[in-house]
Amino acid sequence: DQQVKQNSPSLSVQEGRISILNCDYTNSMFDYFLWYKKYPAEGPTFLISISSIKDKNEDGRFTVFLNKSAKHLSLHIVPSQPGDSAVYFCAASEPGGSQGNLIFGKGTKLSVKP
């Protein structure tokens, strides 16, 4: 059973427009959420994170929103740039003894077209 779900395998947007990537989770005890970006043949790169005590975190063009009641988070990229084309993974920090254990979604491939 997947605890972190990214239901859109791919997303295509025009350069300059907003990209919205969605992520749902089932475990209400998750207390920390992260987004990673991955280019081909490279490891995932940390992008932005949010603690469960917040509902929004912003870093430049990237904003993550957290809706705890809906168990949903989203990553907004505005404006989108061709260099943002990559696979984006949502991850949640597992509670309990292994607090460093990240549970990843399957990823969403973002394509930003010039």
Residue 100 binds other proteins (CB under 8 A):
yes
| Of the candidate residues 13, 35, 75, 107, the single one contacting other proteins (CB under 8 A) | 107
Amino acid type, 32: Y
Neighbours of 6 (CB within 10 A): 19
DSSP conformation class of 82: G
Which of 70, 9, 65 is CA-nearest to residue 35? 65
Residue 53 binds other proteins (CB under 8 A):
no
Chain residues that interact with other proteins, rule: CB under 8 A: 4, 31-32, 34, 36, 41-46, 49, 51, 89, 91, 93, 95, 97-102, 104-107
